Amino acid sequence: MALRVFVLSLVCFLPFQFQAQHRLADSLRSRLLRQSDPDTTRIILLNQLAYELRDDSAAHAYKYAQEARAISENVHYTKGKAEAYALIGLSLWSQANYSLALKNLLEGLALADSLQYAQAQADILSYLGLVHGSIGGLNKALQYQLQAHALQHKLKNTKQEIRTLNSIGDCYLRLKLYPKSFIYYKKALELGTPLKYGLASNYRNIGNVYEAEGELEQALSNYLIAKKISDSTNDLRNKSQIRKSLGSVYFKQKKYELAETALREGFALSLQGNFRSITYELSELLARVKEAQGNLTESIYFYQLYDQYNDSIRQGVEPSKIASLQIEYESQRHELEIARLKKDSEIQHEELKQKNVLLGTTAIVILLIILFLIYSIRSYKFQKKFNQKLAQHNTEIDGQQSELAEQRDEVITLNEEIRAQQEEVVQQRDALFEKNKNIEQLYKSLTQVNLQLEVLVARRTAALEEQNKRLSEYTHITANKLVEPTFHILNLVELIRTHKTANVDSALTEKLKLSSAELDLIIRSISDTLQQGLNAYENKI
């Protein structure tokens, strides 16, 4: 009872230690929740999810593949149905239900054959190889794996090719052909290293070869590399197998505690993933380890588990059922080949009809060609005469073209001259425009000058009028006022000359002073008048 509790505790707690987050599977689950419609998109998502979980949880992979198959039947999506059957068979193989796995795989292969769906054919052939290898049909398994590898290589599906190379190596390993096994494992490692794909499986498989050959240290070294790589993934199948291999080496090295730890971890992981065949092998190893440790109670318990799994696995292997399934598939395949041959015969018959039609058409075409040749010969003779006339016309046309070329050159020359003249006219027009602008400016200036002259003339006229007025006054003064004092002075002077008495002299002298003063005033008046006239003229100018 205590042992069972211990096993259950391992199952519960070890997943938290080893399981890494499966991002692609989580993404597919999220998309699946959004894609609830039962259509081809959901089928594709279900098949992808089942494939991603094949090495993580066989039970979940089986569930998703079953749903994909059911929807495919409803919507008549044969391609999705073939893929679903393949994944159902693979998950059943993981759970050691070999007869049912074989049944689903053969049904899937029949569908893939009918569709000539090469990728599904390659995958299913590999899965059939796994099933036959598990039930002891190693030669049959090797045959399937070699066919699968050839197809995967042709399809350039490198990841699946790596898987088939490992499976071929497994077959040779179980057949104890170790050198051949090693060659295929190394080839898988070479292909997987650049892609970082399948490396844990490759190192474990290479370690298996070393272990089989008794080189335990080399085997252990490869197992430890495989463990380090696989611990960063969520591949429960590979993790449990690597721990089984480690436990096996430790057991052979009599490191029983290390062997027990590795085997118990592997046992818990195989239970979690429901990998019954691996659990079966681990039960046997644990029983042997506990027996070597002297713990017979636990050893007996694990031997009992081993027997239970052995009985369960044997129940899943029904040779008669497997044989009947194989015969049924072969008969279906023969029927499919017969149908294909019949179809090929119909196609050939149709091709023959088409060939007959083609022959009749060819005969008609040949006749038409002969008629065309006759017509062509006659046309050739006519064309020859026509070509001669055409040559003469061409000669005349060449002469005319020469004349036209000369005329064209003359026209070009004239055009250039006209263009030059036009440019000169444009220049003259621009010059005239400039002159017109200058004339307009001169006209404006002249108009202003005329206006100024008119003002100046008006001013000068007014000045002349003022001057004339002053001259008139001067003439009046000269004619009227200046004569009288001058006359008086002349008379006084004559009197003084003729009468030389003292009394007369003083009286005349006094009159002379008065006449001279009066004359002086008149002269001053004349001078002022003339000066005012000049000033008035200058101001008006």
Report the CATH number that the domain containing residue 146 is assigned in CATH: 1.25.40.10
Least reliable range by pLDDT among 193-207, 392-406, 467-481: 467-481
**pLDDT tens per residue, range 484-521:** 777 777 777 777 767 666 565 677 777 777 878 877 78
Looking at residue 264, its pLDDT comes to 94
> Is 402 part of any domain?
no
Looking at residue 9, its pLDDT comes to 42
Confidence of residue 232 (pLDDT cuts 50, 70, 90): confident
CATH of residue 62's domain is 1.25.40
Name residues whose C-beta falls within 8 Å of residue 523's C-beta, 6 or more positions apart in sequence.
482
pLDDT, mean of residues 312-318: 63
**One domain, residues 143 and 220:** no
pLDDT, mean of residues 153-180: 94
- The pair of structure tokens assigned to 207 is 């370690």
3-state secondary structure of 317: coil
**One domain, residues 158 and 209:** no
- The pair of structure tokens assigned to 422 is 């036009």
**One domain, residues 205 and 237:** yes
**One domain, residues 56 and 42:** yes
What is the number of domains present in the chain?
4
Distance of CA 529 to the CA centre of its chain: 112
> Is 335 part of any domain?
no
Percent residues over pLDDT 70 in the chain = 83
Reply yes or no on whether the pLDDT at 87 is more than 80: yes
Confidence of residue 465 (pLDDT cuts 50, 70, 90): confident
Integer Cα distance of 480 and 488 in angstroms: 13
pLDDT, mean of residues 396-402: 80
Least reliable range by pLDDT among 165-179, 181-195, 468-482, 505-519: 468-482
**One domain, residues 301 and 216:** yes
pLDDT, mean of residues 518-534: 74
> Is 377 part of any domain?
no
**One domain, residues 168 and 242:** no
- Structural domain containing residue 484: 451-540
Reply yes or no on whether the pLDDT at 14 is more than 50: no
**pLDDT tens per residue, range 357-373:** 777 788 788 888 888 88
Looking at residue 423, its pLDDT comes to 82
- The pair of structure tokens assigned to 466 is 């003022």
Least reliable range by pLDDT among 3-7, 22-26, 172-176, 534-538: 3-7
Percent residues over pLDDT 90 in the chain = 40
Name the residue with higher pLDDT: 262 or 35: 262
> Is 380 part of any domain?
no
Integer Cα distance of 220 and 204 in angstroms: 9
Name the residue with higher pLDDT: 433 or 481: 433
pLDDT, mean of residues 438-460: 81
Of 253, 283, 310, which residue constitutes the final position of a domain? Answer: 310
Looking at residue 387, its pLDDT comes to 77
Reply yes or no on whether the pLDDT at 326 is more than 70: no
Reply yes or no on whether the pLDDT at 393 is more than 80: no
Mean of pLDDT over the chain: 82
**One domain, residues 298 and 205:** yes
Of 116, 144, 170, which residue constitutes the final position of a domain? Answer: 116
**One domain, residues 143 and 108:** no
**One domain, residues 178 and 224:** no
> Is 439 part of any domain?
no
**One domain, residues 147 and 94:** no
Looking at residue 377, its pLDDT comes to 84
Beta carbons of 300 and 284 less than 8 angstroms apart: no
Least reliable range by pLDDT among 86-95, 163-172, 479-488, 510-519: 479-488
Most confident of 41-50, 231-240, 422-431, 488-497: 41-50
Beta carbons of 246 and 289 less than 8 angstroms apart: no
Reply yes or no on whether the pLDDT at 88 is more than 80: yes
Integer Cα distance of 286 and 290 in angstroms: 6
The residue written with tokens 């370690």 in the block is: 207
C-alpha distance from residue 237 to each of 274, 432, 445 (Å): 9, 107, 115
> Is 9 part of any domain?
no
**One domain, residues 207 and 162:** no
Least reliable range by pLDDT among 129-133, 331-335, 486-490: 331-335
> Is 240 part of any domain?
yes
**One domain, residues 102 and 141:** no
> Is 495 part of any domain?
yes
